[in-house]
Structure 1
Amino acid sequence: MRVVIGLWAVCVSLLLAACASSSGAVSTAPPADVPTTASAYRIGVDDVVQVSVWRSPELSITAPVRPDGNITVPLVGDVTAAGRLPDEVAKEVQSKLATYVREPQVTVILTELRSHEYLSRVRVTGAVRTPVSIPYRQGMTVLDAVLAAGGVTEFAAPDRSGLYRKNGQDTVNYAVKLDRILNRGDLATNYAVAPGDVITVPERAL
């Protein structure tokens, strides 16, 4: 009888664990393949891009993407930017410049994200002094976003904070030890944020 009860308890434990993993359980850290910088952001109309050609400043430009989705690059002419990754645009410009420049080296950087403004924002909610929705900037971290919200309130439970990120049809919650970040300088969970992220700081139980 004890053996049967023991097996039943094990089965229940496994079932509960499976349910927890499929219902948005907290993940320890964003996986490496989750986009966290603007390098994974597809350029949109009105975004401002900087095209830099190494050792050829006269061929380098900074310009917004026109309504037709194109930018105009010296010697190359119109290049489609909208809907593409910066690296894809850089490779096309580099390929076309090869006709005029010996071994050109081209980089394309997003300097302003003006399109898809709603999706390209980072939001901080909960027990912070000023809940905010701020424009995403390349290199932004959890700490940057929380400081923009004025920091946490005296009612916060900062070490139970979470970074919520869309992953396909699901939303994943990454645990953030915000107290350790703010008061101990422990940056282990000071994750780089991505466009559309939501950071939530819960209140502590009274």
Structure 2
Amino acid sequence: MPLAPRGQDSMPAPYYLIGPGDTLDIFVWRNDDLHKTLRVRPDGRISVPLIDDVDAAGKTPTRLARDIEARLSGFVVDPIVTVMVVDFSGTFDQQIRVIGEAQKPQAIPYRDKMTVLDVMIAVGGLTEFASGNQAVISRMSDGKQKQYRVRLDDLIRDGDIGANVAMNPGDILIIPQRYI
């Protein structure tokens, strides 16, 4: 099933949800000793002074700040907490995973209006063994996993901008090896 080239979206972007691997800057107003920069652990938690482990993954920065405020209120009078995401990884459903014959196969954070060309730039392009025009995007649609063929060789090697298609959060780009 072909994908349409990237067009204008009419829906607003969803709120960012914190995920494992994200780096957070936690600032507690008037309490510099509680200001910390923390990486979200693989279990989705962070360790905050005075209150130990806090679930962070799957929450917006604002929701996490309110949760930390509630837990700190037993130790700090009227805490005001700000959470800023300074390095993004996102939850798995907010990433695009690239597997197969990319120079640097990896999971990358989804950005609004991202295209397959943006993804290929992030992973360093195709290997010399890639069968780019046999690549597929595996995507959940209406509760079912569907695959869409993409023409990476046409896009990257031939400059066919019509082959540049929209990517969605949670997509998996599979680049097979060509047969010799």
Q: TM-score category by the smaller chain?
A: 0.5 to 0.7
Give the match for residue 146 of structure 2. Answer: 172
Distance 1:111 1:129, change over 3 A: closer
Task: Give me the identity figure in percent.
Answer: 14
In our comparison, the structure showing a higher alpha carbon Rg is 1
Is 1:124 the equivalent of 2:99? yes
How far does residue 65 in structure 1 lie from its aligned partner after superposition? Answer: 4.2
Give the match for residue 50 of structure 1. Answer: 24
Give the match for residue 107 of structure 1. Answer: 83
Q: 1:81 aligns with which of 47, 52, 55?
A: 55
Q: Retained in 2: the 8 A contact 1:121–1:133?
A: no
How far does residue 111 in structure 1 lie from its aligned partner after superposition? Answer: 3.0
CA distance in 1, matches of 2:17, 2:162: 23
Q: 1:135 aligns with which of 98, 107, 113?
A: 107
Give the match for residue 14 of structure 1. Answer: none
Counterparts of residues 56-95 of structure 1 (less than 5 Å): 58=32, 59-65=34-40, 69-72=45-48, 77-78=51-52, 80-87=54-61, 88-93=63-68
Residues 144-195 of structure 1 show CA distances to partners (whole Å, capped at 9, x for unaligned) of 543536426588463x743222347412345645334664384883545645
How far does residue 50 in structure 1 lie from its aligned partner after superposition? Answer: 0.8
Is 1:198 the equivalent of 2:145? no
Distance 1:85 1:114, change over 3 A: closer
How far does residue 61 in structure 1 lie from its aligned partner after superposition? Answer: 1.9
Structure 1: gaps (5+ residues): 1-24
How far does residue 86 in structure 1 lie from its aligned partner after superposition? Answer: 3.2
How far does residue 72 in structure 1 lie from its aligned partner after superposition? Answer: 0.6
Structure 2: gaps (5+ residues): none
Give the match for residue 136 of structure 2. Answer: 162
How many residue pairs get matched?
163
> Higher helix proportion, which one?
1
CA distance in 2, matches of 1:154, 1:36: 37
CA distance in 2, matches of 1:143, 1:170: 25
Distance 1:199 1:98, change over 3 A: farther
